[in-house]
Amino acid sequence: MAIRTVVWGENIHERINKAVAELYPDGMHQTIANALNADGAIAATTATMQEPEHGLSQERLDNTDVLVWWGHRDHGGVDDVIVERVAKRVYEGMGLIVLHSGHFSKIFKRLMGTPCALKWREAGERERVWVVNPGHPIAAGLGEHFVIENEEMYGEHFSVPEPLETVFISWFQGGEVFRSGMTWRRGAGNVFYFRPGHETYPTFHQPEVQTVLQNAVKWAHNPIPPIKAVLEAPNVPVEVALEPIVERGAKLHEAGEDGYK
Amino acid sequence: MAIRTVVWGENIHERINKAVAELYPDGMHQTIANALNADGAIAATTATMQEPEHGLSQERLDNTDVLVWWGHRDHGGVDDVIVERVAKRVYEGMGLIVLHSGHFSKIFKRLMGTPCALKWREAGERERVWVVNPGHPIAAGLGEHFVIENEEMYGEHFSVPEPLETVFISWFQGGEVFRSGMTWRRGAGNVFYFRPGHETYPTFHQPEVQTVLQNAVKWAHNPIPPIKAVLEAPNVPVEVALEPIVERGAKLHEAGEDGYK
Amino acid sequence: MAIRTVVWGENIHERINKAVAELYPDGMHQTIANALNADGAIAATTATMQEPEHGLSQERLDNTDVLVWWGHRDHGGVDDVIVERVAKRVYEGMGLIVLHSGHFSKIFKRLMGTPCALKWREAGERERVWVVNPGHPIAAGLGEHFVIENEEMYGEHFSVPEPLETVFISWFQGGEVFRSGMTWRRGAGNVFYFRPGHETYPTFHQPEVQTVLQNAVKWAHNPIPPIKAVLEAPNVPVEVALEPIVERGAKLHEAGEDGYK
Amino acid sequence: MAIRTVVWGENIHERINKAVAELYPDGMHQTIANALNADGAIAATTATMQEPEHGLSQERLDNTDVLVWWGHRDHGGVDDVIVERVAKRVYEGMGLIVLHSGHFSKIFKRLMGTPCALKWREAGERERVWVVNPGHPIAAGLGEHFVIENEEMYGEHFSVPEPLETVFISWFQGGEVFRSGMTWRRGAGNVFYFRPGHETYPTFHQPEVQTVLQNAVKWAHNPIPPIKAVLEAPNVPVEVALEPIVERGAKLHEAGEDGYK
């Protein structure tokens, strides 16, 4: 079965900024979804901020294998209830791919536990994306590096936790570097951050970028059944301990009582 | 200069539960602080939930190198403002040591970005803490393992991010295992979780446990000046780029304008 | 195409020890290969130490996606040339799964860069293998833990590098713990160590163990084309630099000369 | 007590290449040792390849806390016996700092378990070293980045294992990037690789580079007593098991017999 993928788009600058609208007349989310659907293993649809529940109802998320997230203009406008809902689905096993300015999205900061801050410069300069982990599935089919001729600069220090693996590092014309592709696991969910994708440039039309996105969706897909009990902290009664033990000492909880949360 | 350490205690069960009060008549926080002060390199004081701002004013945190956290009964009662204040100080470089039931504290979940759930059984069973990283400074002075004769069981799966390093793994009499000592870095702050420390047992009076706590404070201490700009995402104007570049393409931001957060 | 898997067996104790021969009349390698072939996605054959080149000719390795390694009695008897050949194929992208006593094999120590030592006790005691990373593909289809009723004990400290991820931790009846499933990447090759599998017990006949092996082969399989240049350190001449630069200062090497190795 | 540090120099190009000799008339090792000794917490001496046992007798290594390694011209000329001796001391707890062309030294490849290959260009181009982990002790006292005006380029892919932490990433004028500062632990030994330091440039005279080296020695120093048993795999007899167990099933080893290595 194809990987059920939802591309979430903030969908603001496409509607209010002429340059963005010309590059992405159907919205960035649609361009990304089209690129993903060019891979037969992926079945991508879109959701936007303006839809009810931002297009991310519980039912829809329950039927989503991988969520791709692009936002920029109004991170604060995303409902906290939806953020927690997405986080829980990640813990259960849904993959999450965060793009570019999504570094400051509520969901990314929520899962990283850090500020996720960085330096930036909007000058359309050259970015050269280097593969530093050529055996990683997200780098499949790429050469040693690829060039994005016009991009926004993001510079270190990028305040995220040390990743499981670093896949890409970018060189910028103006003198900066950036860890542009990194992976983490949160619960059973695979998380990938990918740096490129400023809305005033045609980045998401570029073939190498589309290859990365396809690879990332396939890498992030965790086929195991959802781990629904992810927020639970079950008591294991003495009577059913795996090895026979006898209760000793004082205790706080009566039999069958819940723990404190 | 000695490491300025604050031991934060929830200070509830010590006052309302007879067994706990007998073990820790001055509060668990005081027992822990005394143990830390037995190490000349550490200067520990205490703070409790009942104090104004939970004893964690901005000024006090600004003068704290390492914060030790024990809570259990009322995680939800900790003010979110204080949680964010502590998180920011960790990013700036303050060390944080989270003990036992603190796995479910707001600050630990905030920094991990995961549920931090686990299994538990309150039966006073034997715990054997194994050193799996004998070269780690937190294990200094310990043998291959040590036994805590009566402890609450915590069992895997413990839903935290893969750590930088695993230092301790516990064996439980009833058949479970648990990653009892793990390290992470969040921003410039070193974070250590240590499993033992159920309030109905004399765990914090045990010498090996006190050795771990002293080691952990010294390990967590980051002597660099605080990184105050940790939440900022500064623009780097084209005019001051490190390498000369010429601005190209469309842009969203006027010169000097802030980015979106 | 099915994953081309070679199960390498030392094949000594099966021939000289009656207890082992009765448990594994066709050799442990054959039992393991049969278990793998029960998964339609895997095509497993065997190789043994006694064959020419230990059954691992360059041509055969070039056509192997994943190598499974079990050895114990005569690690020193494995030809160093074959060890380097296997290591190079791992760097190129071949997966490697090392079983039980293979912790002391030349190839595992070669790839880890550490002693890979541990404690042991041969008493047929109970081992309980806990899943500490339930979202990891190697744990798919398993419950929270499984029991191997009779196994050799391996105890910490296990002197390997900190893994990418810890998947399993074992509890032993005699009081020890062990990190029984860990992953690393070496070059483009995925490496997994799995603890159980002492030859005097029927471990490899147990369904849960067979599930782990099937999962591990699928996880270790890297479908990218082999990275053949893995040992090369190419010079990038100034004339073809990606950005125009002018040579400055003194240099050691004439144009076209190789670097030092 | 000051950190007993030995700076090992290959000491070849300083003697046969005029440009190198002019930059480092007393040898690179002496320049580095002088820089380290400017920090009162460090007591550095030197050793060179030409001395008996390359200056690294067992007794000297037993009295060394941190070893700094620079080699380039004749990696192959280093005696394998000395390499194993150094490796064992690292496992026991000696710190190791590998500089620049030492990426291809026997000891670094031995401890990494990987080819440690990379791209290179000797053109005296500009290198900008970015701090990507500003809270790490090795980055203490540095700004956000520093420039080395003339350096050899090293480019990714650098085939080393994923590090514990990445501290520095370099930007090169010619368009490449490189992970220039990475940490690993091997046994009880802290290992740091630092990229800059080509012998035809005055890199080791630069204050920021000297700061990194001082920081690195202090970080790498592990004050615990040496773990002398690092290569041993002790049997734990049934009679002294921590929890009472009864031997069951067949076994390979008689009581008191050694395991296979």
Place of tokens 């967590």: B220
Cβ atoms within 10 Å, residue C122? 24
Contact C156, C179 (CB under 8 A): yes
pLDDT of residue B236: 92
pLDDT reading at A198 higher than 80: yes
**What is the mean predicted confidence (pLDDT) over A70-87?**
97
Q: What is the pLDDT of residues B225-248, one digit of tens each?
A: 999 988 999 999 999 999 999 999
Chains that touch A (3 or more CB pairs under 8 A): B, C, D
Q: What is the pLDDT of residues D43-64, one digit of tens each?
A: 999 999 999 999 999 999 999 9
Q: Is B164 within 8 Å of C162 when comparing Cβ atoms?
A: yes
Place of tokens 């200056």: D55
Nearest Cα residue to C163 out of B164, B260, A181: B164
- Most A-contacting residue of C224, C228, C230, C245 (CB-CB within 10 A), to test interface: C224
pLDDT of residue C254: 78
User: How high does pLDDT run on average in chain B?
Assistant: 96
Residues facing D85 on adjacent strands: none
* Closest CA of chain B from D50, distance in Å: 32
Instruction: Say how many CA atoms lie within 13 Å of A180 toward its Cβ.
Output: 32
pLDDT of residue B121: 96
Tell me how far the alpha carbon of residue B192 is from its chain's centroid: 5
Determine contact: D241 vs chain B, CB below 8 A.
no
Closest CA in chain B for residue D215: B224
Determine contact: A135 vs chain C, CB below 8 A.
yes
pLDDT of residue D156: 97
Name chain B contacts of C170, Cβ cutoff 8 Å.
Answer: 177
pLDDT reading at B89 higher than 80: yes
Residue C37 structure tokens = 């072939």
Question: If you ran DSSP here, which 8-state letter would residue B257 be given?
Answer: P
Which one-letter amino acid corresponds to residue B243? E
Q: What is the DSSP string of chain C?
A: --EEEEEEE--SHHHH-HHHHHH-TT-HHHHHHHHHHTSTTEEEEEEETTSGGGG--HHHHHT-SEEEEE--TTGGGS-HHHHHHHHHHHHHT-EEEEEGGGGGSHHHHHHH-S----EEEEEEEEEEEEES-TTSGGGTT--SEEEEEEEEEEES----PPPSEEEEEEEETTS-EEEEEEEEEETTEEEEEE----TTS-GGGSHHHHHHHHHHHHHH---SPP-TTTT---B--GGG-SS-----S--S--TTPPPP-
pLDDT reading at C256 higher than 80: no
CA distance D233 to C155: 10
pLDDT of residue B251: 87
Q: What are phi and psi of D218, to 5 degrees?
A: -70, -40
Tell me how far the alpha carbon of residue C91 is from its chain's centroid: 13
pLDDT of residue C259: 83
Angle at alpha carbon of residue D97, lines to D211 and D173, rounded to 5° = 65
Name chain C contacts of B172, Cβ cutoff 8 Å.
Answer: 171
Contact C254, C215 (CB under 8 A): no
**What is the mean predicted confidence (pLDDT) over A154-174?**
98
pLDDT of residue D255: 77
Determine contact: D222 vs chain B, CB below 8 A.
yes
Name chain D contacts of B189, Cβ cutoff 8 Å.
Answer: 135
Q: Is B158 within 8 Å of C132 when comparing Cβ atoms?
A: yes
Which one-letter amino acid corresponds to residue D258? D
Nearest Cα residue to D111 out of D102, D100, D120: D102
pLDDT reading at D256 higher than 80: no
Q: What is the pLDDT of residues B188-203, one digit of tens each?
A: 999 999 999 999 999 9
pLDDT reading at D245 higher than 80: yes
Name chain D contacts of B164, Cβ cutoff 8 Å.
Answer: 164-165
CA distance A150 to A202: 8
Determine contact: B91 vs chain C, CB below 8 A.
no
pLDDT reading at D254 higher than 80: no
Q: Is A156 within 8 Å of D128 when comparing Cβ atoms?
A: no
Tell me how far the alpha carbon of residue D213 is from its chain's centroid: 11
Whether residue D103 has a cis bond before it, omega within 30° of 0:
no
**What is the mean predicted confidence (pLDDT) over C202-226?**
98
**What is the mean predicted confidence (pLDDT) over A147-172?**
98
Nearest Cα residue to B229 out of A118, C220, C86, A3: A118
**Pairing state of beta strands B66-70 and B3-9?**
parallel
**Pairing state of beta strands A189-194 and A177-186?**
antiparallel
Q: Is C135 within 8 Å of A187 when comparing Cβ atoms?
A: yes
Task: Scan residues 23-52 of C and list those with Cβ closer than 8 Å to B.
Answer: none
B210, B215, B217, B223 alpha-carbon torsion, rounded to 10°: 160
Name chain A contacts of D166, Cβ cutoff 8 Å.
Answer: 162, 166, 179
**Pairing state of beta strands B177-186 and A95-99?**
unpaired
pLDDT reading at A184 higher than 80: yes
**Pick from C135, C188, C223: CB nearest A134:** C188
Name chain A contacts of C140, Cβ cutoff 8 Å.
Answer: 223-224
Report residue D259's pLDDT band, with 50, 70 and 90 as the boundaries: confident
CA distance C192 to C183: 5
CA distance B46 to B66: 12
* Closest CA of chain D from A38, distance in Å: 29
Closest CA in chain A for residue C172: A243
Residue A177, phi-psi category: left (phi > 0), alpha (psi -120 to 50), beta (remainder):
beta
Contact B188, B202 (CB under 8 A): no
Place of tokens 């965790």: A222
A231-261: burial string, b at 16+ Cβ within 10 Å, e else: eebebbebeebbeebeeebbbbeeeeeebbe
Task: Scan residues 114-133 of D and list those with Cβ closer than 8 Å to A.
Answer: 128, 130-133
CA distance C95 to C107: 13
pLDDT reading at C190 higher than 90: yes
Name chain A contacts of D155, Cβ cutoff 8 Å.
Answer: 130
Q: What is the pLDDT of residues C143-183, one digit of tens each?
A: 999 999 999 999 999 999 999 999 999 999 999 999 999 99
pTM for the structure as a whole: 0.97
Identify the residue with better confidence: C188 or A253: C188
End-to-end CA distance of chain B: 39
The interface pTM score, or ipTM, of the predicted complex is 0.96
Place of tokens 């230990």: C54
Closest CA in chain D for residue A173: D175
Nearest Cα residue to C135 out of B174, A7, B181, B114: B114
**What is the mean predicted confidence (pLDDT) over D21-42?**
98
Which one-letter amino acid corresponds to residue A215? N
pLDDT reading at B254 higher than 80: no
User: How high does pLDDT run on average in chain C?
Assistant: 96
- Of all residues in chain A, the percent with pLDDT exceeding 70 is 100
CA distance D133 to D121: 27
Chains that touch C (3 or more CB pairs under 8 A): A, B, D
Residue C160 structure tokens = 């390997």
Q: Which residues are CB-contacts of D1 (< 8 A; sequence separation ≥ 6)? A: none
Q: Is C135 within 8 Å of A93 when comparing Cβ atoms?
A: yes
Query: D76 burial class (0-12, 13-18, 19+ CB within 10 angstroms)?
Result: exposed
> Mind spelling out the 3-state secondary structure of B25-43?
CCCHHHHHHHHHHCCCCEE
Closest CA in chain D for residue B141: D224
CA distance C71 to C106: 10
Tell me how far the alpha carbon of residue D243 is from its chain's centroid: 41
Residue D227 structure tokens = 């773990």
Angle at alpha carbon of residue D113, lines to D108 and D119, rounded to 5° = 65
